[in-house]
A and B are shown apart, each in its own frame.
Chain A
Amino acid sequence: MSSLKNKSLVSINDYTPEEIEFVLEAAARFEQSPPAGLLSDKVVAALFFEPSTRTRLSFESAVKRMGGRIIGFADAGSSSVTKGESLKDTILTVSNYSDLIVMRHSLEGSARYASEVSPVPIINAGDGANQHPTQTLLDLYSIRKTQGTLDGLNIFLVGDLKYGRTVHSLLIALSNYNTTFNFISPVELRMPDEYKMILERKGLKYYEHDDFTDIISRADIVYMTRVQRERFSDPLEYEKVKNIYVLRNEMLENTKDNLRILHPLPRVNEIESDVDNNPKAYYFEQALNGVFVRQAIIAAILGKI
């Protein structure tokens, strides 16, 4: 798709619904027939100023399974950043050595800035609490693959809806489809008004709950996130609610056959391990889908599809 060629992916808002559709279709093709050798003439730089094992390995696997080579660093401690080099200088230097830069950085807006100074395209693999668009695209892919559609689904977002970067981006992406949202969170971690306003403007329905035991039978997708102790100003509040947002296997009785449980991982204790063997648990396959989706994004940006 020519519109994606050489275009940086910093925020999910950078892609039109048509471009998202193109990426999801390409990822499905790659899953069916692996695109080995597609990147044999390409070098991708992975600059992880902030460590993230899972995301980095997923990108590395995506590049290497397409025959591309990958260079970079896994944490800022092993880069020239420790010598005080500016982000701009690091990006300009590395752009000489690579055709595409994948970067993760703790500063918010760092990927946008990099995309403005870099002569090669940038893929944002997470800029602080701001954006992580490849996660959103793999979430969309997982939802579509398991449900056969993105339209008309009842999506449950559970846990930390206030600070959760993944749920905010997913909400924005799914607001282009006829989605019904159920927000399940402690009062302190409710979905911010600015996101609810997006849904209201588009005429989409959403409901807010403190608990989801009684309503889970309606869900097509339950997207779990972690409720972190440090988000609570009052530790007693955390103690009161911490077990409400834990998914247990018995809660999945009497749920829809097509229900799938998603989680951006890493999981700590918000999904009990007895859920893992339930066929409705989908979070590890979701992580695998990340490789196909990242392959599709990289191939599109490098003009290979």
Chain B
Amino acid sequence: MRGTMGEVKHLSVSAIKNGTVIDHIPAGSLFSVINILGLEAITTQITFGTNLESKKFGKKGIIKVSDIYFTEQEINKIALVAPAARLNIIRDYEVVEKHQLTIPDEIEGIVKCFNPACVTNHEPIRTRFRIISKKPLRLKCHYCEKITDEEHLTII
């Protein structure tokens, strides 16, 4: 834990007292994560950086949100675009919890079905998918049974 914290503190994004740090975001997905989490509507302090050096990814993004702790559903949303991201809960400058994000086996109400003829795109229905493959990402619609892949993925 100490090693990881040391690494975070060396980044050119300042530490936060309380809140959430989302680390190891693929550099190209940073702005997707910001959109998915609706960070533009948050009024507390947010800092983020991208194209930061990472031993694991080459380049990565990081987001630090003060005084906000996300729900499991919000975390799931991130896992779809940044499956290797790590979530650190910070209290009084210390990492008190770490979550390795994992894509769940089933997701509800997060992704839009890519099939224009799917009933979920015409009636007020909460979408449901079963994850049939995590890499590459392939989601099978519970309703129309069609498969939405990474290329056609739209977050609701």
The tally of residues in B whose CB lies under 8 Å from a CB in A reads 16
Flag B120-156 by CB within 8 Å of A: 1 or 0 each: 1011110000000000000001111111000000000
A274 at interface by CB-CB < 8 Å: no
Flag A96-125 by CB within 8 Å of B: 1 or 0 each: 000000000111111011000000000000
A135 at interface by CB-CB < 8 Å: no
User: Which residues from B are CB-within-8-Å of A110?
Assistant: 119, 123, 143
Alpha-carbon distance between A128 and B122 when the two chains are bound, in angstroms: 13
- Let me know if B124 and A109 touch, CB within 8 A: no
Nearest A-chain residue to B147, judged by Cβ: A194
- Let me know if A113 and B117 touch, CB within 8 A: no
- Let me know if A108 and B145 touch, CB within 8 A: yes
Q: A87-B123, A88-B123 known; A107 and B145 CB under 8 Å?
A: no
Alpha-carbon distance between A129 and B118 when the two chains are bound, in angstroms: 10
B18 at interface by CB-CB < 8 Å: no
User: Which residues from B are CB-within-8-Å of A112?
Assistant: 119, 142-143
The tally of residues in A whose CB lies under 8 Å from a CB in B reads 18
- Let me know if A128 and B145 touch, CB within 8 A: no
Q: Tell me the chain A residues, 61-107 only, with Cβ under 8 Å from chain B.
A: 86-88, 105-107
B115 at interface by CB-CB < 8 Å: yes
User: Which residues from A are CB-within-8-Å of B118?
Assistant: 107-109
Alpha-carbon distance between A107 and B116 when the two chains are bound, in angstroms: 9
A185 at interface by CB-CB < 8 Å: no
B interface residue numbers (CB < 8 A to A): 115, 117-120, 122-125, 141-147
A interface residue numbers (CB < 8 A to B): 11, 86-88, 105-110, 112-113, 127-131, 194
22 A-B contacts (beta carbon < 8 Å): A86-B123, A86-B124, A88-B123, A105-B119, A107-B118, A107-B123, A108-B117, A108-B146, A109-B143, A109-B144, A110-B119, A110-B123, A110-B143, A112-B119, A112-B143, A113-B119, A113-B123, A113-B125, A127-B119, A128-B117, A129-B117, A130-B144
User: Which residues from B are CB-within-8-Å of A107?
Assistant: 117-119, 122-123
User: Which residues from B are CB-within-8-Å of A109?
Assistant: 118-120, 141-145
Q: A11-B145, A128-B144, A130-B145 known; A108 and B123 CB under 8 Å?
A: no
User: Which residues from A are CB-within-8-Å of B124?
Assistant: 86
Least CB distance from B139 to A in Å reads 14
Identify which of A86, A87, A110, A194 gathers the most chain B CB atoms within 10 Å of its CB: A110
Least CB distance from A40 to B in Å reads 35
Alpha-carbon distance between A88 and B120 when the two chains are bound, in angstroms: 12
- Let me know if B142 and A108 touch, CB within 8 A: no
User: Which residues from A are CB-within-8-Å of B117?
Assistant: 106-108, 128-129
Q: Which residue of A108, A113, A131 is within 8 Å of B115 (Cβ)?
A: A108
Nearest A-chain residue to B121, judged by Cβ: A107
Q: A86-B123, A107-B117 known; A113 and B145 CB under 8 Å?
A: no
User: Which residues from B are CB-within-8-Å of A87?
Assistant: 119, 123
User: Which residues from A are CB-within-8-Å of B143?
Assistant: 108-110, 112-113
- Let me know if A131 and B123 touch, CB within 8 A: no
Alpha-carbon distance between A204 and B146 when the two chains are bound, in angstroms: 24
Alpha-carbon distance between A105 and B122 when the two chains are bound, in angstroms: 12
Alpha-carbon distance between A127 and B115 when the two chains are bound, in angstroms: 13
